[in-house]
Structure 1
Amino acid sequence: MGNDSITIRNTFLPSDLELVALLHGKVYGEEHGFPESFETEVRRGLQIFNQNYDPDKDQVWVVEKGSQLVGFILLFHREKNQAQLRYFILDKSCRGTGIGKRLMEEWMSFFREKKYDSAYLYTTSGLDAAVSLYEKHGFVKVSEETTMNFGFPLLEILFRLDKG
Structure 2
Amino acid sequence: MEQAIQTIRGFNRFFTRHVGAIDARFLDMDVNLPEARLLFEIAMREPVMASGLQDALDLDRGYLSRMVARFEDRGWIRRDRVEGDARARPIRLTSSGRAAFEMLDERQRSAVAADLARLDPVERDDLVQALAKARLLLDPDAGADFRIRTFRTGDVSHIAARQSILYAASHSWGHGLELVEAETVAAFLRNFKPGREQCWIAEIEGVTAGAVFLTDEGRGTARLRLLHVEPFARRRGIGDALVRHCIGFARENGYAEIMLWTHTVLDAARRIYARHGFERIATEVHHAFGEPVQGETWRLDLTANP
Give TM-score scaled by structure 1 length: 0.89
Q: In the superposition, relative to structure 1, how do residues 19 and 156 fare at CA in structure 2: closer, same or farther (>3 Å)?
A: same
Maintained 8 Å contact 1:19/1:69:
no
Equivalent residue, structure 1, for 2:237: 98
Matched, 1:42 2:181: yes
Aligned residues between the structures: 162
The superposition leaves residues 31-90 of structure 1 with CA deviations (integer Å, 9 ceiling, x where unpaired) of 112113312320111100111111110111112233432311011011211000000001
1:158 maps to 2:297: yes
Q: Which residue of 2 aligns with 1:123?
A: 262
Structure 2 counterpart of 1:8: 148
Question: Which is further off, 79-88 or 153-162?
Answer: 153-162
Task: Find the aligned partners of 1:123 and 1:13 in 2 and give their Cα distance.
Answer: 25
1:54 aligns with 2:164: no
Tell me the CA shift for residue 154 of structure 1.
Answer: 2.5
1:79 equivalenced with 2:200 (yes/no): no
Equivalent-residue separation in structure 1 for 2:242 and 2:189 (angstroms): 20
The residue number in structure 2 matching 1:136 is 275
Q: Which runs of 5+ in 1 are unaligned?
A: none
Is 1:25 the counterpart of 2:178 in the alignment? no
Q: Return the structure number with greater strand share.
A: 1
CA contact (8 A) 1:75 1:83 kept: yes
| Equivalent-residue separation in structure 2 for 1:67 and 1:109 (angstroms) | 24
Q: Counterparts of 2:196 and 2:207 in 1: how far apart (Å)? A: 27
Three-state SS of the structure 1 residue aligned to 2:154 is: helix
Runs of 4+ in structure 1 deviating by more than 2 angstroms, as ranges, are 2-7, 64-70, 148-154
In 2, distance between residues paired with 1:13 and 1:149?
29
Instruction: Report the equivalent of 2:88.
Output: none
Identity %: 28
- Structure 2 CA distance for aligned equivalents of residues 51 and 151 of structure 1: 27
Unaligned runs of 5+ residues in structure 2 are 1-128, 133-142
Between the aligned partners of 1:84 and 1:137, the Cα distance in structure 2 is 15
Residue range with higher mean Cα deviation, 67-76 or 142-151: 142-151
CA RMSD in angstroms comes to 1.8
CA distance in 2, matches of 1:103, 1:120: 15
Q: Greater helix percent: which structure?
A: 2
| Aligned position for 1:66 | 205
The structure that has the greater radius of gyration is: 2
Does the CA-based 8 Å contact 2:202-2:242 persist in structure 1? no
